[in-house]
């Protein structure tokens, strides 16, 4: 195929053009996709992938070209843009460990943008025919790929929603502070800094790290991967922890906006409580903590959003584990009181001082003087409070049974 190159003037113009937004890098869905490919038989994957090299200024493909392949970037950098190269609209930059052109695997449509190498670039190409062959031998991959691409779109939509919701909250505050220009400007600055911090300074570079780790696992010789498996596992674990922090920040931002959707359905509490405990059973066993569940006979099914309440229970049990000494006990119970179900998590830890019991639900709050088994992000209890309030209930903490430890309680209306 004939190689298409930008002229020196066109390349200089492209490099000098400022994008409409900050540089965009990979999000978590890229890493998910790469992890999926890495799970495929290595010999089969090598047979289906073709390596390509592109010089600086060379088109990978142009807007309007037939989309027939996806590319994994191994080295170098490319720019994604729409329009003529003399007056381009830059959409994004992509670097090592990232994916471009993936929609070509799903639909036979013209490319919606052009991509040019702005550095010498090495990449792995997977054609649509090769991908279809891959599906024949691995039919389960089809749904996983759809889930990956859906996650990419959902992540982009989440960022847009958070930004829109923050803007709506800011408008309300502007009406209250219209005569206080200095405070208004400060709110605007904080809003912009917070959004940029979450979306660009954390989320996007983290996506690149995830992508590079998975790509190295795929392309390095097997003996090198085996020799460095502990290092790769440590990098993956640290990256996953950072991803949890970013997701927690975005979750709290959505919940605080009041625009989060709740899928309510009648749900029995006992299976939900047992599932949350079972998820953390390895940690409970490791520290010899006795875990029990108890539900009163008069507690009916409760209208709730099961995934969200499941996360509330998991957060509260995990929090109790952090403060419970080895050999202690944690009791998860539910009882009926008037028109509410009261769910409690009682531990045998050191307890929470009276003056700290309201503050611990604030963002990034830590109990003064406490030495937990491991340090968290200080967002779990904030998430719990917002979700419970979204269900029409409330959450609080009081001394544990017989004055030992802490007892977190939240109510859900029946």
Residues 292 and 204 in one domain: no
Same domain assignment for residues 269 and 223: no
How far apart (Å, rounded) are the C-alpha atoms in residues 102 and 266?
A: 40
Q: What is the pLDDT of residue 330?
A: 95
Residue finishing a domain among 197, 226, 257: 257
pLDDT band for 166, please (50, 70, 90 cuts).
low
Residues 403 and 292 in one domain: yes
Same domain, 40 and 65: yes
What's the pLDDT at 169? 64
CA proximity to 381, closest of 404, 364, 400: 364
Q: How many structural domains comprise the chain? A: 3
- Record the tokens describing residue 243, joined without a space: 């991803």
Q: Is 2 a domain residue?
A: no
Task: Looking at the structure, tell me whether residues 167 and 102 fall in a common domain.
Answer: no
pLDDT at 29: 46
Same domain, 56 and 180: no
Question: To which H or E segment does residue 100 belong?
Answer: strand 99-100
Same domain, 171 and 94: no
Cα atoms in the Cβ-side hemisphere of radius 13 Å centred on 31 = 21
pLDDT digits (tens, 9 = 90+) for 255-277: 776 767 889 999 999 999 999 99
Q: Does 147 reside within a domain?
A: no
Query: At residue 361, does pLDDT exceed 90?
Result: no
- Sign of the dihedral through C-alpha 73, 78, 84, 89: positive
**Which residues contact residue 169 at a Cβ distance below 8 angstroms, ignoring those fewer than 6 apart?**
256, 257
Question: Looking at the structure, do residues 204 and 233 belong to the same domain, yes or no?
Answer: yes
Domain of 343, CATH number, reads: 3.30.565.10
- 27 confidence band (pLDDT: 50, 70, 90): very low
Start-end of H helices in 138-196: 141-176, 181-196
**Residue 356 confidence class, pLDDT cut points 50, 70, 90:** confident
- 212 shares its domain with 293: no
Residue 189 sits at φ, ψ, to 5 deg, of -65, -45
Q: Are residues 135 and 170 in the same domain?
A: no
Neighbours of 192 (CB within 10 A): 12
Same domain? 374 vs 354? yes
211, 241, 257 — which closes off a domain? 257
Q: Is residue 385 part of a domain?
A: yes
Among 116, 141, 166, the domain boundary falls at: 141
Owning domain of residue 302: 265-413
Both 22 and 130 in one domain: the answer is: yes
Indicate the pTM of the whole model: 0.54
């Amino acid at each position: 195929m004939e190689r298409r190159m930008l002229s020196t003037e066109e390349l200089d113009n492209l490099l000098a053009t400022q994008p409409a937004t900050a540089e965009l890098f990979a999000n978590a869905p890229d890493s998910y996709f790469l992890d999926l490919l890495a799970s495929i038989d290595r010999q089969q994957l090598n047979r289906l992938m073709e390596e390509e090299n592109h010089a600086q200024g060379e088109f990978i493909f142009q807007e309007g070209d037939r989309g027939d392949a996806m590319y994994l970037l191994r080295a170098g950098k490319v720019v994604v843009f729409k329009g003529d190269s003399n007056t381009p609209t830059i959409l994004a930059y992509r670097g090592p460990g990232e994916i471009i052109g993936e929609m070509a695997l799903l639909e036979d449509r013209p490319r919606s943008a052009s991509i040019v190498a702005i550095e010498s670039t090495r990449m792995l190409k997977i054609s649509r025919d090769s991908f279809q062959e891959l599906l024949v031998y691995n039919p389960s991959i089809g749904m996983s790929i759809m889930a990956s691409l859906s996650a990419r779109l959902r992540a982009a939509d989440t960022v847009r929603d958070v930004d829109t919701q923050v803007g709506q909250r800011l408008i309300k505050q502007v009406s209250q502070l219209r005569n206080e220009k200095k405070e208004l400007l400060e709110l605007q600055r904080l809003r912009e800094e917070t959004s940029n911090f979450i979306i660009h300074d954390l989320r996007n570079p983290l996506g690149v790290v995830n992508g590079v780790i998975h790509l190295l696992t795929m392309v390095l010789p097997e003996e090198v991967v085996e020799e460095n498996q502990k290092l790769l596992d440590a990098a993956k674990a640290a990256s996953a922890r950072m991803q949890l922090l970013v997701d927690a920040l975005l979750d709290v931002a959505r919940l605080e906006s009041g625009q989060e959707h709740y899928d309510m359905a009648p749900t029995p509490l006992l299976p939900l409580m047992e599932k949350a405990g079972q998820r953390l059973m390895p940690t409970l066993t490791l520290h010899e903590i006795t875990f029990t569940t108890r539900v009163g006979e008069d507690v009916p099914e409760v209208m709730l959003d099961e995934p969200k309440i499941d996360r509330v229970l998991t957060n509260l049990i995990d929090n109790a584990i952090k403060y419970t000494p080895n050999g202690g006990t944690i009791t998860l119970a539910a009882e009926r009181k008037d028109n509410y179900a009261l769910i409690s998590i009682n531990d045998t830890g050191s307890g929470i001082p009276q003056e700290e019991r309201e503050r611990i639900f604030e963002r990034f709050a830590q109990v003064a003087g406490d030495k937990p088994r491991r340090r968290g992000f200080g967002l779990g209890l904030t998430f719990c409070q917002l979700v419970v309030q979204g269900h029409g209930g409330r959450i609080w903490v009081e001394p544990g049974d017989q004055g030992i430890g802490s007892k977190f309680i939240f109510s859900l209306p029946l």
